[in-house]
C-alpha cells in the first residue's frame, strides 16, 4: 500500500507512534509518505520506502494566525495525487482529521478516492477536543473519517461518551519494537554505561516526557527526594517542555539538584531506558502511557498513576505499581520497598518485559493496522 501519514512531528507520544508505525510499515514493504511541517524527530537516518513532504506555511502580514490546516490539506491532496496514495492515516484529531477531510473532498471533485483513518491519542479528546471552540469540528471530522482507531479502551469509551460519536471505533493499542527497545544482554556492559549517570551502588530512577503540566514532573522530583532519604539514587529526566524550569527550581529548593540529571530531548531513548531501575510516570492523565511501555520493553517497571488507559498496560503489583494522582508518599514508599527487595524487583522487571513482548510488540500490532487499512480500502471503493 501507499500510505500518507500526518502527525505532530516534534512533540509528544502521538508523533512517536506515527513515526514508529511508518518505519515498521516501510520495513514490511509498504510505501510511506510523511506529510508534516517538519521531519518527525525519530525519523532521522531512515529512508527505505519512506518519503517526507514538508508543508510550507507562508506568512503574510494579514495572517495573524498562519493557516497551517489549509496548507496541510493542500499538500495532502497534492502528495496523494502525485504519489498515488491509497489512503491517509492522521494521528491526533486536531487539526489533522479536518485537513484530511478537506483533502478527501478536493480529490473527490477530481474523481479520485482518498479515504482517511484518524487515530485518537488522548489530549485531542480529553483536553483540546472538549474545548467548546474545537468540539463541533473535532466531532464532525471524527464522524466523517473512513475509519477511527483509538490507542486504548479507555479512550474509545471516553470518545463515544463525551463526543456522542456513533460510528465504530477500533482499539489498536500502542506498540514498541522489542528488538530496538530491549534490555542489555550483558550486565557488565550495562553497569559500565550506568557509570555515566550514577556511581556504583546508586539506583537510577528515570522519567521521560514532554514536561507538560499533565505529566506532573514536579511530582517526579518530590517522589525522588523521598526515595533519596532511604536509598542512594540518581534521577534522570529525559525530555523538555514547559514545566522543566519548575522541576529545576524544586530540585534546587530541595537541595537535591546534584543528584538529578536533566538530559533534555534525546534522540535515542532506547539506549537510555535500559539503564534505569525504575521509571516514574505520575501523570494527571494518560490515555495509554507510551513512555512506560518503552521502559517495560527495556525490562524497567514503572511507578505510575492509576489513570485513563494506564491499567490496560500496567498490571498493578505485577508489571509495575499504580497509585492515585498526587499520592507522593505512597509512590515513594512503593519505590523504596521495591528497590530494597532485589528479588521482587527482578520478578517485576521480567513481568514488565514479558508484557511488552506478549501484548504490545510491533510484530503483533502492525498486522492489526494493515488489516484495518485493508477493510477501510475495501469499504471505500
Of residues 242 and 329, the one with the C-beta less far from ligand GMT: 242
Under the binding rule (CB under 6 A), the answer on residue 158 touching ligand GMT is no
Q: How far apart are the first and last CA of the chain?
A: 14
Q: CB of 196: closest distance to ligand GMT in angstroms?
A: 26
Of residues 203 and 360, the one with the C-beta less far from ligand GMT: 360
Under the binding rule (CB under 6 A), the answer on residue 174 touching ligand GMT is yes
Give the helix/strand (H/E) hosting 70: helix 68-82
Residue from 3, 117, 151, 220 touching ligand GMT (CB under 6 A): that is 151
Q: Which residues 284-323 are close enough to bind ligand GMT by CB under 6 A?
A: 285-290, 308
Distance CA 207, CA 202 (A): 16
Angle at 200 between CA 196 and CA 202, to 5 degrees: 90
By three-state DSSP, how is residue 83 classified?
coil
Phi, psi of 229 (to 5 degrees): -70, -20
Distance CA 9, CA 227 (A): 35
Tell me 325's DSSP state.
T
**Which of 17, 5, 91, 111 is CA-nearest to residue 51?**
5
Under the binding rule (CB under 6 A), the answer on residue 92 touching ligand GMT is yes
Of residues 15 and 320, the one with the C-beta less far from ligand GMT: 15
> Is residue 2 a contact partner of residue 35, using CB atoms and an 8 Å limit?
no
Residue from 13, 129, 173, 274 touching ligand GMT (CB under 6 A): that is 13
Under the binding rule (CB under 6 A), the answer on residue 362 touching ligand GMT is no
Q: Which residues 208-227 are close enough to bind ligand GMT by CB under 6 A?
A: 210, 214
Residue from 4, 5, 9, 12 touching ligand GMT (CB under 6 A): that is 12
Under the binding rule (CB under 6 A), the answer on residue 172 touching ligand GMT is no
The dihedral through the CA atoms of 22, 74, 101, 140 has a sign that is positive
Question: Could you tell me if residue 234 is left (phi over 0), alpha (psi between -120 and 50 degrees) or otherwise beta?
Answer: beta
**Stretch of residues binding ligand GMT (CB under 6 A), selected from 70-78, 279-287, 325-333, 341-349:** 279-287
Number of residues located near ligand GMT, criterion CB under 6 A? 20
Cell of 344: 521482587
**Stretch of residues binding ligand GMT (CB under 6 A), selected from 6-14, 106-114, 229-237, 363-371:** 6-14
Cα torsion for 236, 46, 70, 105, to the nearest 10°? -130
Q: Which residues 97-136 are close enough to bind ligand GMT by CB under 6 A?
A: 121-123
- CA diameter of the chain: 68
Of residues 176 and 339, the one with the C-beta less far from ligand GMT: 176
Under the binding rule (CB under 6 A), the answer on residue 17 touching ligand GMT is yes
Give the helix/strand (H/E) hosting 21: helix 13-27
Q: Which residues 326-355 are close enough to bind ligand GMT by CB under 6 A?
A: none
Distance CA 113, CA 108 (A): 6
Under the binding rule (CB under 6 A), the answer on residue 20 touching ligand GMT is no
Of residues 13 and 274, the one with the C-beta less far from ligand GMT: 13
Residues in contact with ligand GMT by the rule CB under 6 A? 12-15, 17, 92, 121-123, 151, 174, 210, 214, 285-290, 308
Amino acid at each position: 500500500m501507499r500510505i500518507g501519514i500526518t502527525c505532530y512531528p516534534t512533540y509528544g507520544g502521538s508523533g512517536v507512534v506515527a513515526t514508529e508505525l511508518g518505519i515498521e510499515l516501510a520495513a514490511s514493504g509498504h510505501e510511506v509518505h510523511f506529510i508534516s511541517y517538519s521531519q518527525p524527530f525519530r525519523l532521522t537516518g531512515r529512508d527505505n520506502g519512506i518519503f517526507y513532504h514538508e508543508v510550507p506555511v507562508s506568512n503574510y502580514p494579514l495572517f495573524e494566525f498562519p493557516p497551517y490546516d489549509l496548507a496541510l490539506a493542500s499538500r495532502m491532496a497534492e502528495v496523494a495525487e502525485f504519489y498515488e496514495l491509497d489512503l491517509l492515516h492522521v494521528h491526533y484529531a486536531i487539526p489533522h482529521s479536518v485537513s484530511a477531510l478537506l483533502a478527501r473532498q478536493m480529490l473527490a471533485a477530481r474523481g479520485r478516492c482518498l479515504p482517511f483513518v484518524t487515530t485518537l491519542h488522548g489530549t485531542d479528546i480529553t483536553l483540546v477536543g472538549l474545548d467548546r471552540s474545537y468540539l463541533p469540528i473535532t466531532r464532525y471530522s471524527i464522524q466523517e473519517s473512513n475509519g477511527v482507531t483509538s490507542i486504548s479502551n479507555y479512550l474509545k469509551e471516553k470518545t463515544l461518551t463525551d463526543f456522542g460519536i456513533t460510528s465504530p471505533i477500533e482499539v489498536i493499542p500502542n506498540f514498541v519494537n522489542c528488538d530496538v527497545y530491549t534490555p542489555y544482554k550483558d550486565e557488565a556492559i550495562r553497569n559500565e554505561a550506568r557509570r555515566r549517570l550514577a556511581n556504583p551502588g546508586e539506583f537510577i530512577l528515570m522519567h521521560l516526557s514532554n514536561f507538560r503540566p499533565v505529566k506532573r514532573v514536579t511530582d517526579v522530583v518530590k517522589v525522588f527526594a523521598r526515595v533519596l532519604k532511604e536509598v542512594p539514587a540518581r534521577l534522570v529526566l529525559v525530555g523538555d517542555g514547559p514545566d522543566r524550569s519548575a522541576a529545576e527550581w524544586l530540585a534546587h529548593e530541595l537541595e537535591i539538584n546534584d543528584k538529578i540529571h536533566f538530559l533534555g530531548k534525546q534522540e535515542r531513548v532506547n539506549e537510555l531506558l535500559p539503564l534505569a531501575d525504575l521509571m516514574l510516570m505520575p501523570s494527571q492523565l494518560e490515555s495509554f502511557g507510551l513512555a512506560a511501555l518503552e521502559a517495560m520493553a527495556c525490562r524497567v517497571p514503572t511507578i505510575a498513576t492509576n489513570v485513563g488507559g494506564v491499567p490496560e498496560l500496567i498490571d498493578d503489583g505485577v508489571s509495575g505499581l499504580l497509585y492515585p494522582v498526587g499520592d507522593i508518599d505512597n509512590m515513594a514508599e512503593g519505590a523504596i520497598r521495591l528497590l530494597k527487595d532485589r528479588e521482587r524487583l527482578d520478578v517485576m522487571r521480567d513481568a514488565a518485559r514479558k508484557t511488552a513482548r506478549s501484548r504490545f510488540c510491533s510484530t503483533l500490532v502492525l498486522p492489526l493496522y494493515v488489516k484495518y487499512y485493508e477493510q477501510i480500502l475495501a469499504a471505500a471503493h
